[in-house]
């Protein structure tokens, strides 16, 4: 029993080490992150302005609601981008710095290693997503959200993050398989996930086969839940229909992500792909 | 101790604890062929390597580039017991006992020496409280200037970075230290300083050291036994003087030539593939 407690303690300290390392790195590269944030704001604005453009060209729509709907889609897109970026970096950045063999040799389980990476990604992603939402909603567009329930929206995003991390773990093996092109494929996964999930439109407008895929995408329930909380003022109890599928997908995707990562790690060791030179 | 006892001690070797016991180590790399010879090729980097090391012993493994020295530290076949623990079924216990210094100083270059040591120690279950005093002390012992502790690693010389790598390895009190060409690329002064520190680690910490190198002088100066690894096979493993005697040579370089049939510095075309993998 004592040995188990000691092992668990060491594992938690190790996961904390991953969070600590990412904190140091974020601090060192903070101005690059500021520049990247400006790009994210610009990208979000181009999407949200579409609603104003439709109105200006004679279309009839509730501009405030449409802009908020688009903004939520853009913020979730950006959030998912941050999560995937950090998880993809689990391998890519360490490989570039030449630390990956050292890390893989340390007595830290891969599950806790990836959990540490995921926890930092969620914390940093939530911070950035909140900031992005506030800057665009209140600074640029002065959007009105009289019924908004922010706490339930946060809860849905947090629960969805478990599934996102699971999917991110699967994606993070790509740089192990292809050091040159693997990281870019993360964007493909991000785009594919969101396009079927109704990122800027209702899922009902998609072809039927895409709607079937939407049912197993955690982003579908995350977007639906957040929009329900922000636009319709839904509380946690009203959002249960979105939360339970997220929990189920999370329970499946995290172990699956760990399994896929373990296979990728084995492949990389077998093919000598852990070294910087490729 | 009486004169008789002294004589007996000279003749009868002292039985020490077996630290490393490896049998039939194998490592293969697979690579896809392009061009005319399409298909998959397998290259054997380690071919049935067997040896033991006693606690506190330093063993140097000599070999050309691509001979399999580095992969000796990352086998994927055979059996290895480290201080009685099976390297596969008890990998967590083994990883706690082992640390490594590689030819490249593997660090996050934007982070400082103190930050790099801090997060790496967490992977071994050491808390911030434990490392608060330990890190400055250990950096001081390797001669690292106190006023540069918080400077990014990228500002440090190669020699300085390698000292930090040794400090990082020592921080976790490893009983088995794997040194993969630790002085390659260092200027003569840094090289001597690092070698001196390795001697100190051995004498003060009773660490068992496996040194992979292609520096003959270093092997002779630091190791009690020297092994010759050629094309994945361990041709000999004995004290440097015995090696010279066995092959009737005056120097280790000549002994290497006699054992392998090739000059130590020679690079053969047929080794090109090995170098890519190893």
**DSSP codes joined into one string, A134-178:** HIIIIIIS----TT--HHHHHHHHHHHHHHHHHHHHHHTTHHHH-
Q: Exposed, middle or buried: residue A28 (CB in 10 Å: 0-12, 13-18, 19+)?
A: middle
Q: Domain B15-277: which CATH class?
A: alpha beta
Cβ contacts of residue B185 below 8 Å, gap of 6+? B103, B158
CA A265 to chain centre: 22
Inter-helix orientation angle A185-195/A63-97, to 10°:
160
Interface contact flag, A18 B119, Cβ < 8 Å: yes
Of B256 and A230, which is predicted with more confidence?
Answer: A230
Average pLDDT, chain B: 80
Q: Give pLDDT, residue A143.
A: 92
Task: Read off the pLDDT of residues A67-109 as tens digits, 9 standing for 90 and up.
Answer: 999 999 999 999 999 999 888 887 778 888 888 888 888 999 9
- Please name the member of A10, A102, A269 whose beta carbon is closest to the beta carbon of B106: A102
Distance CA A168, CA B193 (A): 44
Alpha carbon of A111: minimum distance to chain B alpha carbons (Å): 13
Residue of B nearest to A116 (CA): B123
- Please name the member of A18, A106, A276 whose beta carbon is closest to the beta carbon of B95: A106
The contact set of B with A (CB < 8 A) is 28-31, 74, 76, 92-93, 95-96, 98, 100, 102, 104-111, 115, 118-127, 152, 276-278
Q: Do the Cβ atoms of B139 and B149 come closer than 8 Å?
A: yes
Bridge pairing between strands B85-86 and B77-82? antiparallel
Locate the domains of chain B by residue range: 15-277
Residues 104-133 of A with CB under 8 A from B: 105-109
Q: Give pLDDT, residue B41.
A: 67
Task: Read off the pLDDT of residues B241-259 as tens digits, 9 standing for 90 and up.
Answer: 999 998 888 888 888 888 8
Among B69, B122, B153, B165, the residue to mutate for chain A (most A Cβ within 10 A): B122
Residues 72-101 of A with CB under 8 A from B: 97-99, 101
Scan for tokens 């009289």, then name that residue: A146
Residue of B nearest to A24 (CA): B111
Interchain contact A27–B (C-beta under 8 A)? no
Interchain contact A275–B (C-beta under 8 A)? no
pLDDT tier at B267, thresholds 50, 70, 90: very low
Interface contact flag, A18 B124, Cβ < 8 Å: no
**How confident is the model over A6-25, as a mean pLDDT?**
93
Residue of B nearest to A9 (CA): B125
Cα–Cα distance list, A7 to A216, B90, B140 (Å): 35, 13, 30
Q: Do the Cβ atoms of B131 and A141 come closer than 8 Å?
A: no
Task: Read off the pLDDT of residues B178-229 as tens digits, 9 standing for 90 and up.
Answer: 888 888 877 888 888 888 888 888 877 778 999 988 888 889 889 999 998 8
Task: Read off the pLDDT of residues B104-150 as tens digits, 9 standing for 90 and up.
Answer: 778 999 999 999 999 999 999 999 999 999 999 988 888 888 899 88
Q: Do the Cβ atoms of A206 and A196 come closer than 8 Å?
A: yes
Distance CA B179, CA B78 (A): 21
Of A73 and A184, which is predicted with more confidence?
Answer: A73
Locate the domains of chain A by residue range: 2-270
Which of B32, B28, B61, B31 is closest to B45 using CA atoms?
B28
- In chain B, residues with a C-beta closer than 8 Å to the C-beta of A14 are 122-125
Question: Hey, how many other C-beta atoms are within 10 angstroms of the C-beta on A1?
Answer: 5
DSSP sequence for chain A: -HHHHHHHHHHHHHHHHHHHHHHHHHHHTHHHHHHHHHHHHHHHHHHHHHHHHHHHTT----HHHHHHHHHHHHHHHHHHHHHHHHHHHHHHHHHHHT-HHHHHHSS--HHHHHHHHHHHHHHHHHHHHHHHHHIIIIIIS----TT--HHHHHHHHHHHHHHHHHHHHHHTTHHHH-TTTTTTHHHHHHHHHHHTTTSSS-GGGS-HHHHHHHHT-HHHHHHHHHHHHHHS---TGGGHHHHHHHHHHHHHHHHHHHHHHHHHHHHHHHTT-SSTT-
- Please name the member of A28, A101, A270 whose beta carbon is closest to the beta carbon of B110: A28
Residue of A nearest to B275 (CA): A272
Distance CA B5, CA B84 (A): 31
Which backbone phi and psi does B209 adopt, to 5 degrees? -125, 125
pLDDT tier at B32, thresholds 50, 70, 90: low
Q: Do the Cβ atoms of A218 and A199 come closer than 8 Å?
A: no
- In chain B, residues with a C-beta closer than 8 Å to the C-beta of A116 are none
- In chain B, residues with a C-beta closer than 8 Å to the C-beta of A105 are 95, 98, 100
Q: Give pLDDT, residue B63.
A: 74
Average pLDDT, chain A: 90
Q: Do the Cβ atoms of B43 and B31 come closer than 8 Å?
A: yes
Does A129 score more than 50 pLDDT? yes
Task: Read off the pLDDT of residues B9-28 as tens digits, 9 standing for 90 and up.
Answer: 454 455 578 889 988 888 77
Interface contact flag, A107 B124, Cβ < 8 Å: yes
Q: Give pLDDT, residue B34.
A: 55
């Amino acid at each position: 029993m004592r040995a188990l407690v000691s092992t668990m303690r060491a594992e938690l300290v190790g996961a904390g080490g991953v969070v600590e390392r990412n904190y140091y790195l974020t601090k060192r590269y903070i101005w690059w992150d500021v520049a990247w944030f400006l790009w994210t704001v610009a990208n979000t604005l181009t999407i949200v302005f579409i609603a104003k453009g439709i109105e200006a060209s004679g279309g009839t729509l509730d501009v405030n609601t449409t802009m908020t709907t688009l903004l939520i889609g853009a913020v979730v897109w950006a959030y998912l981008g941050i999560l995937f970026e950090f998880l993809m970096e689990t391998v890519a950045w360490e490989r570039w710095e030449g630390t990956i063999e050292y890390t893989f040799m340390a007595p830290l389980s891969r599950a806790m290693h990836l959990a540490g990476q995921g926890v930092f990604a969620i914390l940093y992603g939530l911070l950035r997503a909140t900031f992005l939402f506030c800057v665009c909603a209140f600074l640029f567009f002065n959007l009105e959200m009289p019924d908004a329930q922010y706490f339930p929206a946060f809860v849905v995003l947090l629960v969805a993050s478990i599934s996102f991390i699971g999917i991110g773990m699967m994606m993070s093996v790509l740089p192990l398989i292809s050091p040159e092109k693997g990281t870019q494929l993360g964007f493909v996964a991000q785009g594919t996930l969101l396009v079927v999930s109704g990122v800027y439109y209702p899922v009902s407008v998609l072809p039927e086969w895409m709607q079937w895929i939407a049912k197993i995408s955690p982003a579908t329930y995350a977007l639906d839940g957040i929009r329900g909380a922000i636009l319709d003022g839904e509380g946690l109890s009203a959002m249960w229909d979105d939360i339970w599928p997220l929990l189920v997908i999370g329970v499946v995707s995290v172990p699956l992500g760990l399994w896929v990562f373990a296979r990728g790690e084995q492949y990389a060791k077998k093919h000598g792909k852990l070294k910087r030179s490729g | 101790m009486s004169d008789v006892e002294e004589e007996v001690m000279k003749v009868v070797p002292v039985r020490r604890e077996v630290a490393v016991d490896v049998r039939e180590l194998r490592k293969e790399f697979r690579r896809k062929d392009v061009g005319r010879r399409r298909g998959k090729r397998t290259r054997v980097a380690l071919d049935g390597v067997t040896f033991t090391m006693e606690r506190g012993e330093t063993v140097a493994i000599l070999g050309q580039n691509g001979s399999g020295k580095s992969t000796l530290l990352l086998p994927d076949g055979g059996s290895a017991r480290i201080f009685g623990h099976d390297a596969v079924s008890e990998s967590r216990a083994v990883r706690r006992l082992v640390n490594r210094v590689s030819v490249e100083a593997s660090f996050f270059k934007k982070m400082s020496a103190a930050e790099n040591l801090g997060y790496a120690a967490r992977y071994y279950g050491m808390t911030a409280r434990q490392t608060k005093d330990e890190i400055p002390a250990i950096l001081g012992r390797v001669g690292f200037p106190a006023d540069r502790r918080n400077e990014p690693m990228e500002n440090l010389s190669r020699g300085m970075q390698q000292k930090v790598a040794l400090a990082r390895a020592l921080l976790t009190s490893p009983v088995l230290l794997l040194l993969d060409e630790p002085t390659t690329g260092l200027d003569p002064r840094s090289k001597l300083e690092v070698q001196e520190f390795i001697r100190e680690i051995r004498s003060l910490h009773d660490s068992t050291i496996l040194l992979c190198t292609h520096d003959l002088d270093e092997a002779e100066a630091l190791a009690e036994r020297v092994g010759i690894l050629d094309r994945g096979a361990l041709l000999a493993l004995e004290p440097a003087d015995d090696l010279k005697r066995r092959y009737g040579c005056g120097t280790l370089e000549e002994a290497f030539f006699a054992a392998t049939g090739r000059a130590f510095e020679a690079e053969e075309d047929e080794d090109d593939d090995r170098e890519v993998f190893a």
